[in-house]
Structure 1
Amino acid sequence: MGMAGLWTRNFGLYFVARSVALLGDAILPVAVALAVRGAGYGDSGVGLVLAAWMGPFAALLLFGGVFADRFTARRMMIGADLVRVATQTVVAVALLTGRPSLWLLLVMSALAGSAAAMFQPGVASTVPRVAADVQRANATLRVADAGAQLLGPVLAATLTAAFGAGVVYLLNAGTFAISAACLVALRLGPAPVVARGASMLRDLREGWYEFRSRSWMWSVILIWAGYGVLLFGPIYPLGSGLVTERLGEHAYGFTMSALGAGTVVGGLVAMRYRPARPLAAGAVALLGFAMIPLTYATHAPLGLLLGGHAVGGAAWAFWSVMWATSVQTQVPPDVLNRVSAYEIAGSVGTVPIGQALAGPAAALFGAESVLGVGAAVGVAGCLVLLAVPGIRGLRRAPDPCPPVPAAQPA
């Protein structure tokens, strides 16, 4: 199926919804940092507000998967977007009219994190319902994500400098409003829904059974748990410090731009290349991600830093498309939201541990040593991925039948 076949009305609306929401997600960390510091609460305040978002997100993510299977993913996603419109608007008004209290920022951040937990599990199950070519759809969305990551921080910093953080929060609220409007406009057929009489605990158990019954899935998540502590957690806190101390802040900005450019390239490759064994191909590509911590650890010159980040970004994007497509096409639709919730929770759950331990480990062993270990772990993890039969041998699932739209908007 060509690109023209991908761009149906439903996929176009979903693409806009996800693109603007991803832009909002990219804006948010910079907006939080600048707003909280501008209000006089310092680095500790920034940490508290970000933690207030992450805590409810991690705690409620599994329930978000259950609710998405019970009430449909689209309803949960629309509701989550509307909650975030409200929270970001409240903070915007508080910033535009004075100095918001820290408790207000904490409460609104916690509500936004809770809403994100209700939103995120439904992403996986919606892609196969709006696109017949799931891999190409995921690759297209990955390119949009890369664009958002490139544009969002710059846009947030520029608007804050020109108009204040309140305007950035209003823009953030607007992205979620557009996302909700596009999701409302989707014309989808009936979605599989869990029987209302089932208990919450039974739904969670069923999702866990489906998750652990797939060795290829839980094997990847076990590896990702180690990556979170030893690779993903330390890489940016320590890497950013090494680069800025040695080459200046502008050099670190260039490396992040190179990472984004590489992510675009990886997404474009994933649009075209359709391996018979997607996770095996993704694991081979993911070897390139180790270039990022390796260039940090070896004090590589700027040119090699940029090249390493471009390779790492392309590797990460290609793996991400292969993984998302495998999950969305190998798991039955009636449990996909719950399985995705377990998968997401396992993927990100150990990253805060790695971030918290990065500083103390660097003080004991040196940042270069910690990042060098991360690079070695990155390569070792890819070799383990290729050594696990369930991962190496997973075959590409056939593309589903083209999604059938509902006669009228839901």
Structure 2
Amino acid sequence: MKIFSNSDVRSLFLGQVISQSGDSIFRIGLLWMVLELTSSKAITGAVAMASFLPSLLFSLPAGAIVDRFCKLRIMKTMDLLRFFLMLLIPICYFIGQMNIFLLVVITFLSATATTMFFPARDALIPEIVNDDELGYANTLIQTSWQSAVLLGPALGALLLYYVGQIHLFTANAVTFFVSFVAISCIAVPKKPFVQKNTSALQDMKEGMDYVLKTPLIRSIVLITVGNNLLLMGPAIVGIPIFVKEILHLNVEHYAWAEASLAGGIIIGVPIMAWISRNTKHMGKVLLWGLIFDGLTHCPLYFATTFKQTAITLFIHSIFIPMVTVSRTTLIQQSIPRELSGRIFSIIYMCVIGSTALSVSLTGLLAEYVAMNTIFLYSGILCASAGVWGFIFGIHRH
């Protein structure tokens, strides 16, 4: 593939696959350790929530920082910080000082570092590739998480068997160090601190004002919030509920359902790479992606067997890169470079915030409405958001 001739993109892709595989390992180890320490589902849920809070609290100031400092330096610093935070867990465990408070603090700080890392990464990409390669590069970087979805749990299972639970955190620390080494190979001129006459609050306001006053970016933000509210909750908590209560199957089938999702995304990656090379209208790709993203959820209403469910999820996930990649590329092509950190931090905040809300609402709604019915109507509403995007003219970009 042409973009792989760019050594900077190769380094970034490698670092992301490895570190995000480590994130998968961390989630396995964290929640299991909390259950062992507390035997409390409520506390386990609270610890999980600690990973959402930093994006809601710190995304705006994180974006202002990204736009003032060297993006590559920020990414390297955040990787090193997460490396040392993860090492604290096995160290404290072996000296007998591990407790639930420490786990909450480490989880919160690590998520805060992630809140800084991702806007810096997305703002860095236009600095290391040409404009005509943006879509292709984003296809690789944005879908590194899907590769990690397959690699991380498998690696976690092997580590559990051979080295035990506590060294899941050691392995996660190693992945952040490997990511640090990989992105250290990226050659971008260091950006010195920018002396400004404005305060950090004024910088954050400038970013928010740009989003609110720019029709295209404002529409993308609204669509992002709507898409995540409608589909992320059903995708995260709806699938296990569907497998258990609609299909009356067990956790192994749930795992295979998740594997079907990951498999479809792997197929969608080269398709999106081809689309990126052959179109300049990423707005149209985004809207068609939203329409198919929604419509392909609807057949779950009729699914009565696991085979039907797995095929539906596989087909559905093929279209996910059309949404995530086109959205990122469209933003990169449309915004001033000096605002990129702030705009991407707002997008990141919207994604995490609306996902957290969607997960909560889906769980509550599923107490009263069958999960297959939720899939049907959430899919129709998501597809309609794509239709509205055509009405508002996003397809012209």
Which TM-score applies when normalising by structure 2? 0.91
CA deviation vs aligned residue, 1:85-139 (integer Å, no higher than 9, x gap):
1111111223445572110101111111111111121011111222221111111
Return the match for 1:262 from 261, 264, 273: 264
Q: CA deviation at 1:9?
A: 2.6
2:140 aligns with 140
Note if 1:153 corresponds to 2:153: yes
1:19 aligns with 17
Q: Is the 8 A contact 2:300 2:312 kept in 1?
A: no
Q: CA deviation at 1:213?
A: 3.1
Q: 1:235 to 1:139 in 2, by over 3 A?
A: closer
CA deviation vs aligned residue, 1:185-240 (integer Å, no higher than 9, x gap):
32213548643442101111211122223312221222332333332223321221
Note if 1:393 corresponds to 2:396: yes
Q: CA deviation at 1:341?
A: 0.9
2:118 aligns with 120
1:101 aligns with 99
Alignment of 1:222-241 (within 5 A): 222-241=222-241
Structure 2 CA distance for aligned equivalents of residues 123 and 355 of structure 1: 26
CA deviation vs aligned residue, 1:271-323 (integer Å, no higher than 9, x gap):
11232311212321333323564344333422222222122211011221111
Structure 2 CA distance for aligned equivalents of residues 144 and 311 of structure 1: 19
**Runs (5+) with no aligned partner, structure 1:** 395-410
Q: Is the 8 A contact 1:282 1:322 kept in 2?
A: yes
2:388 aligns with 384
Q: Is the 8 A contact 2:295 2:380 kept in 1?
A: no
1:30 aligns with 28
CA deviation vs aligned residue, 1:44-81 (integer Å, no higher than 9, x gap):
23212121221123211111111111112112211111
Q: Is the 8 A contact 1:159 1:167 kept in 2?
A: yes
1:217 aligns with 217
What is the letter of the counterpart of residue 18 of structure 2?
Answer: V
1:309 aligns with 313
3-state DSSP class of the match of 2:286?
helix
3-state DSSP class of the match of 2:366?
helix
What is the letter of the counterpart of residue 115 of structure 2?
Answer: A
What is the letter of the counterpart of residue 272 of structure 2?
Answer: A
What is the letter of the counterpart of residue 60 of structure 1?
Answer: F
1:110 aligns with 108
Q: CA deviation at 1:170?
A: 0.7
Q: 1:144 to 1:234 in 2, by over 3 A?
A: closer
Structure 1 CA distance for aligned equivalents of residues 226 and 273 of structure 2: 29
Note if 1:73 corresponds to 2:77: no
Q: How many residues align?
A: 391
Structure 2 CA distance for aligned equivalents of residues 97 and 268 of structure 1: 48
Return the match for 1:351 from 347, 351, 355: 355
What is the letter of the counterpart of residue 172 of structure 2?
Answer: N
1:329 aligns with 333
Q: 1:297 to 1:240 in 2, by over 3 A?
A: farther
What is the letter of the counterpart of residue 87 of structure 1?
Answer: L
Note if 1:84 corresponds to 2:82: yes
Q: CA deviation at 1:324?
A: 1.2
Q: CA deviation at 1:173?
A: 0.8
Q: CA RMSD in A?
A: 2.2
Which TM-score applies when normalising by structure 1? 0.88
3-state DSSP class of the match of 2:338?
coil
